[in-house]
Structure 1
Amino acid sequence: MTGPTSTSLASLARPMTDPFGRIISYLRVSVTDRCDLRCLYCMSEDMTFLPKADLLTLEELDRLCSAFIAKGVKKLRLTGGEPLVRRNLMSLVRSLSRHLDTGALRELTMTTNGTQLARYAKELHGCGMRRINVSLDTLDPEKFRAITRWGDLDKVLAGIEAARAAGLAVKINTVALKHFNEDEIPQLMQWAHGNGMALTLIEVMPMGEIGEGRIDQYVPLSLLRARLAQRYTMTDLADDTGGPARYVRVSETGGKLGFITPMTHNFCESCNRVRITCTGTLHTCLGQEDASDLRKPLRASAADDLLGAAIDRAIGSKPKGHDFIIDRRHNRPSVSRHMSVTGG
């Protein structure tokens, strides 16, 4: 698998700065909309997935990622769905790792549900990945099976251990869900920190129809943080991993705790990221319906002039912020696409 030629990359030399002066340096790429779990806040039980023929090939994903790297992306995250269920995904990971070798890319990473990690962890580390995010919302096997509709917690925990044994730093991502895991957060934090892993809490986001109301799932992280502050000493950190999380150090555990708060306090003013779906659609804002087709210019020419121009147009229309709302009057998705389509 090879990327664009140096001649074609010359057409991509213009860096990406949006209308509000934010420099785009972080790209999240969904390599598939498919997943081997059906988490209640992410998907409906009977999901209709895209025809495989609609997906970009791995070679096209490589070329697209390489174009963004040429335009200044320094951090690249592979997402899904569940990225590791994409057939032959490791060939893409191996190819993209060349940008780590040249120094053009600072970090290649992944968000995964952990079900396939036991199989792929060593190879991911061998391709230059040094840290990954694992989505995990409970340590109770029955609750895990309920929230994922059929998942096996032991399989995920084995994957996490395999990742750590392979030398990957693991951060746990937990979506805070009302009456489901909000009382389990201290246990999750102590488990994660006790095993040398950071924990990031995430507010549920109103994306896609899932068969139930978001208001019945949503708990503001400001409330959870206030509860934690009654038991733990938390000191704000200036850590910046290129994402939306705001971190604290928990004195009692020595670990890091992150908060991603798109609902109670959006992080739009410092947004440095865009997302590409597995069909080549560019979304410059997670919480807006904006969409730019990059598949057409990608396939229209072996050179990257058309692709570079399409990227510039899209970045030039990046909105200032999102419009996420969850309340009784707006108990419907703010955007129609599911998170699994957009890419985490």
Structure 2
Amino acid sequence: MTSPSSAPLRDTFGRQVTYLRLSVTDRCDLRCTYCMAEAMTFLPRKDLLTLEELEFVAKAFIRRGVRKIRITGGEPLVRKDILHLFGRLGETLGQGLEELTLTTNATQLTQHADDLARAGVRRINVSLDTLDRNRFQEIARRDQLDQVLEGIRAAKAAGLKVKINTVALKYQNADELADIIAWSHKDGHDISLIEVMPLGETGEDRFDQYIPLDLVQRQLETRWTLEPEEKRDPLAGPSRYFRIQETGGRVGFITPLTNNFCAGCNRVRVTCTGRIYMCLGQNNHIDLRTPLRESADPEKALDAALDAALFAKPERHDFSIRTPGQSPALSRHMSVTGG
């Protein structure tokens, strides 16, 4: 067999990929209105990469220079035996991998927070769009706010650094964003606000949900002093961070629609079915599952697929929300791609 490549993953625009978002399932125990339809049809188990295949893919990326892996879904913690994958990847920390983390809705964290910490996870992102129980049930279509808040407390008790991710929704939580920020900072959590992304049919009109974050920022500045942070973490995602003088905490803005952040893109996404999407806002993808399952030399075939993917990585995404009733920019749901 050919020795596997260790060449850095660099695209045609000179950007090096150091950050992998690896989806392990399309399933979730919530049904957030901006992310999923109520009556979702989930993928059959045979279409998903096995935990062993997910590990193989992750280690191929680490060998090619990826230093941060975020496990995503759906809700990653609903996947059976998922802690085994965390344990296996945790063994690579300090041997190429610098950070292993996940994005979660926190409903399962009371059971798993301690095990995640033992596996080497140090920071996690928790999706939380409201602190009001009735609103939570309206947005998530499930009455589970208490479990989410319990999970956040369990994560903190386990020593995990929690960052809150909040999708800004014009009519459902825009009036509450400052309060969510204040609550987060009081509990010691950073927070990122995110513009709604036009992915997949959810039964909702994204135009009605969308609020530009430059408007939200101006509103926050009538209450607080926001100081931009100049130094960026090279492993960070697309948030532009500000320190709020009055609270001492940080707030980030993720703005795929109003402030394109593609120039510094250092990440790719691999779905639970083994498709690598070089850009969240494009449909182009490369199949990794076939090389894994059918090649006589899967390491060599996987390296070739990664090279092809990086060659095809676009300069920027094509997200837009322009008119009421506009179809989503892409038909696939965020839960399929991985957050």
* TM-score under structure 1 length normalisation: 0.96
Query: For each residue in 1:83-130, what CA deviation from the matched residue of structure 2 results, as whole angstroms up to 9, or x when unmatched?
Result: 000000000110011110x43100000000000000000000000000
2:289 matched residue in structure 1: 295
| Aligned alpha-carbon RMSD (Å) | 1.1
Distance 2:37 2:154 in 1: 30
Distance 2:318 2:108 in 1: 34
Match of 1:269 among 263, 266, 272: 263
Amino acid at match of 1:89: I
Match of 1:151 among 143, 146, 160: 143
2:337 matched residue in structure 1: 342
Distance 1:99 1:75 in 2: 11
Distance 1:125 1:51 in 2: 30
Q: Does structure 1 retain, via aligned residues, the 8 Å contact 2:136–2:145?
A: yes
- Secondary structure of the corresponding residue to residue 133 of structure 1: strand
1:250 matched residue in structure 2: 244
**How far does residue 335 in structure 1 lie from its aligned partner after superposition?**
1.0
2:23 matched residue in structure 1: 30
1:260 matched residue in structure 2: 254
Match of 1:167 among 154, 159, 163: 159
**How far does residue 331 in structure 1 lie from its aligned partner after superposition?**
1.3
**How far does residue 301 in structure 1 lie from its aligned partner after superposition?**
3.0
Q: Does structure 1 retain, via aligned residues, the 8 Å contact 2:207–2:324?
A: no
Query: For each residue in 1:182-221, what CA deviation from the matched residue of structure 2 results, as whole angstroms up to 9, or x when unmatched?
Result: 1101110110000000010000000011112110000000
Show structure 1 runs of 4+ deviating over 6 A: none
Amino acid at match of 2:306: I
* TM-score under structure 2 length normalisation: 0.97
Q: Does structure 2 retain, via aligned residues, the 8 Å contact 1:37–1:151?
A: no
- Secondary structure of the corresponding residue to residue 193 of structure 2: strand
2:315 matched residue in structure 1: 320
2:13 matched residue in structure 1: 20
1:189 matched residue in structure 2: 181
Distance 1:308 1:219 in 2: 41
Q: Percent identity?
A: 55
Query: For each residue in 1:238-278, what CA deviation from the matched residue of structure 2 results, as whole angstroms up to 9, or x when unmatched?
Result: 23242000000000100000000000001100000000000
- Secondary structure of the corresponding residue to residue 99 of structure 1: coil
Amino acid at match of 1:31: V
Distance 1:95 1:288 in 2: 31
Distance 1:301 1:247 in 2: 46
Q: Does structure 1 retain, via aligned residues, the 8 Å contact 2:205–2:325?
A: no
Match of 2:89 among 79, 96, 119: 96
Distance 1:335 1:320 in 2: 17
Distance 2:258 2:277 in 1: 22
Distance 2:309 2:209 in 1: 33
Distance 2:22 2:298 in 1: 21
Q: Does structure 2 retain, via aligned residues, the 8 Å contact 1:117–1:163?
A: yes
- Secondary structure of the corresponding residue to residue 59 of structure 1: helix
Q: Does structure 1 retain, via aligned residues, the 8 Å contact 2:208–2:324?
A: no
**How far does residue 150 in structure 1 lie from its aligned partner after superposition?**
1.1
Distance 1:195 1:239 in 2: 23
Match of 2:211 among 205, 219, 237: 219
1:46 matched residue in structure 2: 39
Distance 2:319 2:297 in 1: 38
Q: Does structure 1 retain, via aligned residues, the 8 Å contact 2:130–2:136?
A: yes
Q: Does structure 2 retain, via aligned residues, the 8 Å contact 1:207–1:338?
A: yes
Match of 1:122 among 114, 117, 136: 114
Moved more, 250-259 or 230-239: 230-239
Q: Does structure 1 retain, via aligned residues, the 8 Å contact 2:291–2:298?
A: no
- Secondary structure of the corresponding residue to residue 36 of structure 1: coil
Q: Does structure 2 retain, via aligned residues, the 8 Å contact 1:292–1:314?
A: yes
1:62 paired with 2:55, answer: yes
Match of 1:80 among 73, 85, 110: 73
Are residues 28 and 220 of structure 1, via their aligned partners in 2, closer, same or farther at CA, if it must alter by over 3 Å? same
Moved more, 108-117 or 12-21: 12-21
- Secondary structure of the corresponding residue to residue 12 of structure 1: coil
**How far does residue 303 in structure 1 lie from its aligned partner after superposition?**
4.1
